[in-house]
Chain A
Amino acid sequence: MFTYTLRRVLMAIPTLFFIALAIFLLLELSPGDPLADMPLTIPPEVREQMRLALGLGEAWYIRFFKWLYTFSIVEPSYMLASVTGIEGLAIDSQRIISFQTRSPVFDIVAQRMPQTLWVVGLSYLFGILIAVPLGVYSAYHQYSWIDQMGAFVSMVGFSLPTFFTGPLLMLIFSIWLGWFPIIYDTTLIVDSVENFGRQLRQMAMPVFVLTLYNTAQINRFVRAAMLDNLTQDYVRTARAKGMTERVVVLVHVLRNSMIPVVTVIALGIPTIFTGAIITEQIFRVNGLGALLITWIYASDFPGVLTLSMVFAILIVGFNLIADLLYAILDPRIRYD
């Protein structure tokens, strides 16, 4: 198990390096100019000095390794310092600065993170809580009306894009019924029961949209995995031993079916982060997705690069977790 873990972790490092290089080169090849928004009256020599001040004067590989050093050494030290509260831990060096706001990129990311985490995290949790029992029930009562309905709902959730379900919900619940606010208010501080209610109301629609999507994705896998396992020999053996149906289904079958499902759940978390870009845009939640779009429009290279890399780390990290969980749940995988 240890060598397996070690091998997986070591594999992740070159992957992340190549992703960073690929994103950097993509941005480098692009013709976007961070000074495009500056007034045209700026004389060319001043413009050139401004470019140099942004650090654009050096060759691309020097900038890439400077960015890599800052991203992987300097920024984590600042993070460590702010978490532990010990100022001395932070390396005294240049941090990654956003072209647009001229402030450290990670400070802005940290400001935007909670909104995304609340909306995305809750919807993923609800998605799992609905999808697993529904999947178990539909597989156990195959072709029952609940199974048919579950299949239809997951087909719909799978097919309807969030940029259609979002406005549809807004139309019904905000405009016709007036239950929920149309725009997410990030400045709301939850300090009283009344404000808590307002927070719940403004989160309801984005969370519901993403929950529908997540439920559809996970439900299919739970049902398929349960169906595969229900016809296995060990199930007949367990029944023959005289175990109650409850134990057979909820302990033996469910536990074995969870192996592929846990992988799917772990693999889905990062894609949900990036998929939430659209939902955030619809409901005006100013989380990470909205931040990325603002930065792309502003040709803010350090911002886009760093944020894309944060997403990439999430993906690679959860891939790693899925691999490790798989090995823990299924001992046959751990071939060394």
Chain B
Amino acid sequence: MTDTFVIRPPRNQWWDVWDQFKSHKGALVGMVVFLAIVFFCFVGPYLWPYSATYIDIRSRNQGFSAAHPFGTDQLGRDIFARMMKGGQVSLAVGIVAMILSVFLGTLIGVLAGYFRRVDGILMRLTDLFLALPLLPLLLVMSMLFRQPLASIFGVEMGIFLLIVTAIAVTSWMRTARVVRGDVLALKEREYVLAARSIGTPNRRLITRHILPNVLSPVMVSATLMLATAIITESALSFLGMGFPPDFPTWGRLVADGVDYLQQYPSRAMLPGVFISLVVLSVNYIGDGLRDALDPRIRGR
């Protein structure tokens, strides 16, 4: 038999992942939409002449126009600018809370999976957190700790820290469980045994051999977490337990807009559409990532 293998140059596995990711249409569209919204929120304010907090009472309650594409609100503030500003806060809270929560979840998951001694107690802790009524607790936390944190770090920073921490503390459990399960299986592999036999210390074994291999479930749960964090922050703001009233976030804008639903329906609908678009696109990206990072599906 004459083998005619084409020997391809070695290729980074992330290119394979990207190829698979590209074939998922929903994920690709999701990524474009998500990047567009991020661009809109973070670059937009530099290009847009109006400030989100500038009050121009003479031109209040205007409809869509070239000067104000989304109109103005009851105080004459430009809604286009407020959407950008609100998006910045919502996205920043979502991303920071996601990073914190994934970090916490991965840390606890790796510790519980790798070190048998702490496994029992950490998993009991995880079960305990899963049994907590989370939304009520989040509401209680953000209501009760608002004053002291605001007086220490200033209103914006204090509330930001409070909400980010509260979301992270109440959402790390799923990541921890998934990571622990994977670490338990990885720990028994031959290459881990080989690494251990040449005297690799635990710390390096974890960072060098365990962590890179749990990366894909962590990335998938990170996207899900981002979506949940954005929804949670908006829900808190919607219920009036998030950022202060003069500080726009998408959830807050929906809540304010609902009061004018009859006269100016677009005021509640626009931020709602933005939240939904972000969450939908992040969820689609997560779907695509899950397929792309699964070696059984990739390349088929």
The SS class assigned to the A binding surface is: helix
Q: Does A231 have its Cβ within 8 Å of any Cβ on chain B?
A: no
Contact call A292/B136, Cβ cutoff below 8 A: yes
In the complex, chain B residues whose CB is within 8 Å of the CB of A32: 143-144
Contact call A158/B238, Cβ cutoff below 8 A: no
By size class, the interface of chain A is 35 or more
Contact call B132/A163, Cβ cutoff below 8 A: no
Q: Does B71 have its Cβ within 8 Å of any Cβ on chain A?
A: no
Partner of A171, one of B133, B147, B148, B265: B265
The SS class assigned to the B binding surface is: helix
Partner of B239, one of A22, A31, A277, A315: A277
Given contacts A163-B272, A308-B140, are A293 and B239 in contact (CB under 8 A)?
Answer: yes
Given contacts A26-B137, A274-B136, A275-B135, are A159 and B283 in contact (CB under 8 A)?
Answer: yes
Contact call A315/B275, Cβ cutoff below 8 A: no
Contact call B275/A164, Cβ cutoff below 8 A: yes
Q: Per-position contact with B for A288-332: 1 when CB-CB < 8 Å, else 0?
A: 000011001101000010011001100110010000000000000
Q: Per-position contact with B for A18-46: 1 when CB-CB < 8 Å, else 0?
A: 11001100110011100000000000000
By size class, the interface of chain B is 35 or more
Contact call B234/A308, Cβ cutoff below 8 A: no
Q: Does B139 have its Cβ within 8 Å of any Cβ on chain A?
A: yes
Q: Apart from A171-B261, A274-B134, A275-B135, what are 17 other A-B pairs with CB-CB below 8 Å?
A: A19-B131, A23-B137, A31-B148, A155-B284, A160-B279, A163-B234, A163-B238, A171-B269, A281-B238, A281-B239, A282-B258, A293-B139, A296-B139, A296-B241, A308-B140, A315-B133, A319-B131
What residues make up the interface of B, taking CB atoms closer than 8 Å to A? 127-128, 131-137, 139-141, 143-145, 147-148, 227, 231, 234-235, 238-239, 241, 251, 254-255, 257-258, 261-262, 265, 268-269, 272-273, 275-276, 279-280, 283-284
What residues make up the interface of A, taking CB atoms closer than 8 Å to B? 15, 18-19, 22-23, 26-27, 30-32, 155-156, 158-161, 163-164, 167-168, 170-171, 175, 270, 274-275, 277-278, 281-282, 292-293, 296-297, 299, 304, 307-308, 311-312, 315-316, 319
